[in-house]
Every structure is written in structure tokens, then in C-alpha cells.
Amino acid sequence: MSSSTRPPASALHCPTTGSVPARPGFIVPPYLLARLAEADAHGMPRAAEAARRSLLADPALRVERERAAVATPAAPASVWAAATPTVRRTIFDAGNAESLPGRPVRDETDAPADDVAVNEAFEGLGATYALLLEAFGRDSVDGAGLPLLATVHYGRDYDNAFWDGERMVFGDGDGEVFGRFTASLSVIGHELAHGVTQYTAGLVYEGQSGALNESFSDVLGALVEQHQRGQRAEEASWLIGEGLFTEAVQGRALRSMSEPGTAYDDDVLGKDPQPADMAGYVDTRDDNGGVHLNSGIPNRAFALAATELGGFAWERAGRVWYDALVGAPGAPAPVSPRATFAEFAAATVTAAHARFGAESTEASAIDRAWRTVGVRSDDDPR
Ligand SMILES: [Zn+2]
């Protein structure tokens, strides 16, 4: 694993500046947009054009986000923190321009809008806030009541959604391959989880720590969806980005946590390239060292542990992953910003011991899951 190598500055989708690795953000990884940019060969000129423009626009956005997000304070007692945790959402409309934040169109005092994207963003922020508070006792992304902001209708045919360090931003999609990005609750939860990671462990968005950053966002995205639906682990789809693809695409979602590598297999998009265990680990300089690829490995460890334990995934496996990320009473905390898969796995096992006991079914299921995906081995203590 080459965590210190940096993607070439010449690559279209990579940040062009210096020493700070790119910050997390985009739900659609660069390799998928690169495939999509060839979609005109498959009779999808609008999707191809949209993907090419997204690839060109993204480096500038990434640089902006780095500036915004480099120094994130530990959650302060903020001026807006209320005695009773309360969600505070504001949705903006960019009107298909690429300037942020756009025009405010809905906040907590307003009735639902006539615009489905506005309402989906509003409800999605609320569902994420509800999971964080009800499952983990966390008051918003920063733990101190941070208002939740989102902009919809960003750009024209824009094929992505991202967290810019301050807000969520959603494109409408090109209409040929991708529909609107507010349609998937797991995407909304995924993006806001990048904010949680930013305020806690600060996992560096590169190599294995970057894949862990991506994976934690998928974990939280899946949990937000399951929590909102009242779904148990064994009933869940474990898909990230279900509902984003149009019917023209041979695929279920962007990623599958339970079966990485099987989310899509399509003429235009190719086959889902995620590995399901360490034997398939991808060494690459692209995609910040494969952050959206190798995240399949810890994703599957989570899905395996949660499914074996059964019940609501946020109560046990989810609680342990959260404890490992933020640090919790009795558990060593938070994992280091450059944590490897093995270090994060060890942190979850320790956190499971602290919360549920060393002999607990939770601790053994989590340990077993990491062994199944090849991150832990016989050399590791149980
Ligand atoms: Zn992400």
C-alpha cells in the first residue's frame, strides 16, 4: 500500500495543488465519471457531456473545499447550541448555476415546497440528524448543533453530489444515466458523514485512511436509510445510491456493502470494480489511492458483522464503528488520522470490548468479520 503517493497532478479529476490530500466529497468516483464521459459512443451524448463537464469542474471545487475545511475546530460550545438539541435545516436553490449557496427556499418554518428535490434534501438532512441524535446522542454533524445546509439544482445536468466542508450540494443528474442526486437517502447520509469524520477522527482522504473515511460514510449512509425505514440488518439492501441510476443502466446502485463488486455491470459504466476482501486490494494512484475502491473491504466487514448480530444495525455494529471513529468512554480514542485497515479493525474490537464486554457476541462477530475480509489474521489477538 502506498499511502504517501499522490495522484498525478495532470489527471483530470485530481487536485492540482500541493501537499494536502484532497478532501472527501463526491459521491460518484472519478473512474465512473471517466467511463461516463465516453457514453456518447453508446448513444448517450447528454450523459457524456455532463460527465466531461463534471470532471473539468471538480478540481477547482476540490481546491475550494480544501481551503474551507483544512482547519476544523473541535466542536465548540457554539452560539447556536440550544438547551434541547434541535435540527436546523436550510435548503438553497442554485438555479442550475455553479455558484454557492444559491437562493434560500426552505427552512424549518416553511411548509413543503413544490420542488421534490428541495423536499428530499430537507427530509434527508432531517433523517441524518435523527440517526445521529437518537442512535449516538450526537447533536448534528459537529456534535454542537451545527445548522445543516444544502443546495439543490447545482449546475446543469450535474452528475454528482458532494459535501464542501460546510454544506451538501446536489446535481440534477444528466437524465440519461443519473437522475437527481437527492433521490437516495444513503447518499445524503454518506455526504453528511464526511462532516462527522471531519469533526472527529479527521481520517486523511488518501490510501487506507481515505478508504476508511469513504467506508464510514457508506456505513452511516446505510444506517440513516435503515433507521428512517425502521429496517433490521437482515432486511436491509446494503446498497449505497439506490435509485440514482435511470432505467437505462444495468445496475442496482453505486455500491453494495454486503457484496462489493456486484452493484452494477453495464455497457457504459463497466463492472463495479470494488474488491470484497484483501486478496482483491487495489494498489493505485488514481482516486486518491483507490479510496472508493478499497472501501469495499471495510464496508463488507461492517455488513457481515451487522447481519450476523441482527436487529437494528445502529444499535451494535454501528455503535461500535461510531465509538472507534470518535472515541468513547472506556475505549481508546479516536483512531489516528492515518489509520490503516488493521488499526481501525483493532479499534473496533477494542471498542466492542469496552461497550459490550470482551466475551460478548458483539466483540466476536466484529472480530470474525474482519478476519473474513482478510484484514485481521491469526497473528491478531481475539
Ligand atoms: Zn464520499
How far apart are the CA of 169 and the centre of ligand 1, in A?
13
CA distances 131 to 58, 172, 377, Å, are: 30, 26, 33
C-alpha to C-alpha distance for 4 and 13, rounded to whole angstroms: 18
pLDDT in tens, 162-196: 988 899 999 999 999 999 999 999 999 999 999 99
How far apart are the CA of 27 and the centre of ligand 1, in A?
5
- What is the pLDDT, as a whole number, of residue 167? 93
Amino acid at 277: D
- What is the pLDDT, as a whole number, of residue 41? 85
C-alpha to C-alpha distance for 205 and 25, rounded to whole angstroms: 10
How far apart are the CA of 161 and the centre of ligand 1, in A?
9
Between residues 50 and 57, the one the model is more confident about: 50
- What is the pLDDT, as a whole number, of residue 102? 97
Residue 278 clears pLDDT 80, i.e. is over it: yes
Query: Is 123 a known active-site residue?
Result: no
pLDDT in tens, 76-94: 444 444 568 999 999 999 9
Which residue(s) pair with 270 in the sheet? 266
Residue 214 clears pLDDT 50, i.e. is over it: yes
**Among 13, 153, 292, 353, the one annotated catalytic:** 292
What angle, 0 to 180 degrees and rounded to 10, lies between the N-to-C axes of helices 296-309 and 341-356?
Answer: 20
Nearest to 102, CA basis, from 193, 164, 47: 164
Read out DSSP for 251-271?
BS-SEESSSTT-SBEETTTEE
How far apart are the CA of 378 and the centre of ligand 1, in A?
32
How far apart are the CA of 189 and the centre of ligand 1, in A?
10
Query: Is 191 a known active-site residue?
Result: yes
- Model confidence at 261, pLDDT cuts 50, 70, 90, reads very high
The domains found in the chain, sorted by start residue, are 202-372 (1.10.390.10)
- Model confidence at 50, pLDDT cuts 50, 70, 90, reads confident
- What is the pLDDT, as a whole number, of residue 25? 74
- Model confidence at 22, pLDDT cuts 50, 70, 90, reads low
H or E element in which residue 90 lies? strand 89-93
How far apart are the CA of 358 and the centre of ligand 1, in A?
32
- Model confidence at 132, pLDDT cuts 50, 70, 90, reads very high
How far apart are the CA of 192 and the centre of ligand 1, in A?
9
Between residues 330 and 315, the one the model is more confident about: 315
What are phi and psi for residue 266, nearest 5 degrees? -140, 145
- What is the pLDDT, as a whole number, of residue 277? 98
What are phi and psi for residue 103, nearest 5 degrees? -95, 130
C-alpha to C-alpha distance for 348 and 210, rounded to whole angstroms: 17
- Model confidence at 34, pLDDT cuts 50, 70, 90, reads confident
Q: How many CB atoms lie within 10 A of CB 40?
A: 16
Which residue(s) pair with 90 in the sheet? 107, 149
- What is the pLDDT, as a whole number, of residue 67? 45
Mean pLDDT of 251-260: 97
- What is the pLDDT, as a whole number, of residue 78? 47
Of the chain, the percentage scoring pLDDT greater than 90 comes to 73
How far apart are the CA of 181 and the centre of ligand 1, in A?
13
Residue 119 clears pLDDT 70, i.e. is over it: yes
What are phi and psi for residue 223, nearest 5 degrees? -65, -40
H or E element in which residue 95 lies? none
pLDDT in tens, 318-376: 999 999 999 876 666 689 999 999 999 999 999 999 999 999 999 999 999 999 999 99
How far apart are the CA of 190 and the centre of ligand 1, in A?
6
CA distances 281 to 28, 245, 284, Å, are: 20, 26, 10
Residue 97 clears pLDDT 80, i.e. is over it: yes
Maximum distance among all Cα pairs of the chain, rounded to whole angstroms: 58
Mean pLDDT of the residues in the chain: 88
**Among 66, 176, 191, 214, the one annotated catalytic:** 191
